[in-house]
Amino acid sequence: MSMLLVLCFATHTAEARRDRDPLISNLVSKELFAAIFLHKDDNACPAKGFYTYDSFIQATSCFPRFGNVGSLATRKREIAAFLAQISHETTGGWATAPDGPFAWGLCFKEEVTPQSDYCDSSNRKWPCYPGKSYKGRGPIQLSWNYNYGPAGKALGFDGLRNPEIVANNSLIAFKTALWFWMTEQKPKPSCHNVMIGKYVPTKADLAANRTVGFGLVTNIINGGLECGIPNDGRVNDRIGYFRRYAKLLNVDTGNNLDCENQKSF
């Protein structure tokens, strides 16, 4: 077993013992994964061949509570929500795309035209390494030094000195997306806790109308740019993916799909 995998399992051993069946492959087969991501390996996609089913399944073994808490419907809904969010972050779809705009997730593995090097120089806990860019990479488009640093520490790679590995190693790429999904970053709850119904809103959350649902997950991921805006196209794209994947998984989406009436964190 690799040292990276040992680190993952060491972090989640106690949780694994509590769970019934950590095999996501029982809910997402290789055939279903291919049906969800119809065009990820097309020549038009820069990430062709990068996001493999095996890497996804192996990455989930590091996070045994992902898609494995609550009822079957809750489990499926969380998986659909996660796959929808990473699909929007890496989409290659367009309005008239073959098979529709929501069949083109996981098309990109890194940000094509970053507006900066995403270095927050005021963050001294996770200082930027000279010459490195912390642009969006991987399924969740991990960004900023304050995310690369702790993700690397949790998963066993040097996120500050070697951020490029997230776009060069499929397994690590999926692990960073799951790490972000499962990890609480106060005042934000984890996306996982929101989708399994364990999110308890604070007074500030209630005042900001941050209600539980897929829309709150969007708020966690990119609320500063997308939430509090009526009929935002980016939010609608995320919802479109979620609806398609929920249908493929034979589960309802639940309520509160958008965040247009929510204030960002």
CB of 235 within 8 A of CB of 227? yes
In this prediction, residues 61-72 reach a mean pLDDT of 96
What is the H or E stretch that residue 148 is in? helix 145-155
Active site residues: 89
pLDDT at 75 over 60: yes
Quick check: helix, strand or coil at residue 146? helix
In this prediction, residues 23-45 reach a mean pLDDT of 97
Angle of CA points 65, 75, 204, to nearest 5°: 75
pLDDT score recorded for residue 23:
81
In this prediction, residues 142-155 reach a mean pLDDT of 98
Residue 120 in tokens = 């927050």
Q: 14-18, 23-27, 117-121: which has the minimum mean pLDDT?
A: 14-18
Residue 28 in tokens = 């997402």
- What's the whole-number average pLDDT of the chain? 93
CB of 142 within 8 A of CB of 110? no
In this prediction, residues 145-154 reach a mean pLDDT of 98
Which residue matches tokens 């609320």?
Answer: 223
pLDDT at 16 over 60: no
CA nearest to 120, candidates 105, 103, 136, 134:
134
- The pLDDT confidence band at residue 109, using thresholds 50, 70 and 90, is very high
In this prediction, residues 103-122 reach a mean pLDDT of 97
pLDDT score recorded for residue 8:
63
pLDDT at 12 over 80: no
pLDDT score recorded for residue 43:
97
Angle of CA points 116, 122, 123, to nearest 5°: 95
pLDDT score recorded for residue 13:
37
% of the chain with per-residue pLDDT over 90: 91
Which residues, at least 6 apart from 52, have a Cβ–Cβ distance to it below 8 Å? 170
Domains in the chain and their CATH numbers?
3-108+170-248 (1.10.530.10)
Which residues, at least 6 apart from 218, have a Cβ–Cβ distance to it below 8 Å? 85, 226, 227, 235, 238, 258, 259
pLDDT score recorded for residue 22:
56
